[in-house]
Amino acid sequence: MMPRQPGTFVLLAALAGGASVLAQTDASSPPLRIAVNMTTIESAPVFAAAEELGGAVRVVSGGIPLLTSAEADAATNAETQALIRSVADPGIRVILTVAECAYRVVARRSAGIARPADLRGKRIATAANTSAHYHLVKTLKAAGLSEADVKVVSMPLAEMPDGLKRHDIDGVSIWEPAAQNSIDALGGDAIVLPNGGLYRERFNLNTTKAVLNDPVKRRATIDLVRAIIKSSTSIRRNGAPVWPLVSKKINVPEQTISTTWREFAFPAALPRDLLPLMREEEAWVAAAQKREPRAPATIDQLVDDSILREAMARK
């Protein structure tokens, strides 16, 4: 299946004819360290790019926290984490949207849930202070509800399907493949509440000002972004060839990846609505962190398009 097409982008990220991506860094340079969330299907283009670049990059399991500790030079995470972590480390920069996904709320019909308004008073599991949590907040607000109208349960992703089956919880708001695993666990008792365009995750590649200001690491980051653009172009044409690699990396059955693939888009760009989303989401993040929201101009500084522009310009 082909993924849904993304919207309009600030910069179209397409490279002509699948020309090979050649790392420009000196052979003696240490590999660029990329912290990748090893549970997410969204990471597919990064996995493919890393395979092509070989020893020029080193993939480690993790996300933005490894940037702030200087254990990684680049990291994948949804936009929510860039907002949360940049309060303590304002040098974090979003440089590319690797993937987008319209999240799903999966609930039990037997709990009396048929529409978002029926979530009132129900126990909804999510990963606290994440993009999935924000998606739940958006879903509730559109139904005229707030977090106070439900019992938000923080639960590990792997426990959500069984939690639904045991009736410990009534629904989940979570990313793939946990959402699909929840649907499979409930079978005919599952209902998927419509997203309605309320929210789609922006799964980004992030780095820091320190990396951007380091000539060697900057050059390696440009090569990484070019490789991601190339792999994304191939994936948009036909994702099936990358499924075995993704399955191996995240330990998820290839069938599950195939089933959920339609939920994703792989733009390898910076969508025009990325900054408006981050400005809006900042209010929720600030409330969760018990602080005042930052000014829009401060949020705008978190997105740096210079690497993407240089990657597109380099031949």
Reading the block at residue 157, the tokens are 């992703």
pLDDT for 315: 52
CA distance 164 to 272: 37
What does the pLDDT look like over 119-154, one tens digit per residue? 999 999 999 999 999 999 999 999 999 999 999 999
Model confidence at 306: pLDDT above 90: yes
Q: What is the mean pLDDT of the chain?
A: 92
In which residue are the tokens 């039990």 written? 108
Does the pLDDT at position 190 exceed 70?
Answer: yes
| Sign of CA pseudo-dihedral 28, 62, 269, 240 | positive
pLDDT single digits (tens) 89-116: 999 999 999 999 999 999 999 999 999 9
The model's pTM: 0.90
Q: How far apart are CA 111 and CA 151, in angstroms?
A: 14
SS3 at position 190: strand
- Over residues 50-60, the mean pLDDT reads 96
Beta bridge partners of 207: 93
- How far is the C-alpha of 300 from the C-alpha of 287, rounded, in Å? 19
| Residues of each domain in the chain carrying CATH 3.40.190.10 | 16-101+201-313, 104-193
Q: Is the pLDDT of residue 43 over 60?
A: yes
DSSP state of 156: -
CATH of the domain spanning 104-193, picked from 3.40.50.1110, 3.40.50.450, 3.40.50.300, 3.40.190.10: 3.40.190.10
pLDDT of 22 = 42
pLDDT for 29? 81
CA distance 286 to 157: 25
Classified by CATH at the fold level, domain 16-101+201-313 comes out as D-Maltodextrin-Binding Protein; domain 2 (3.40.190)
Question: Exposed/middle/buried for 314, CB within 10 Å: 0-12, 13-18, 19+?
Answer: middle
pLDDT digits (tens, 9 = 90+) for 8-28: 344 433 343 344 444 444 556
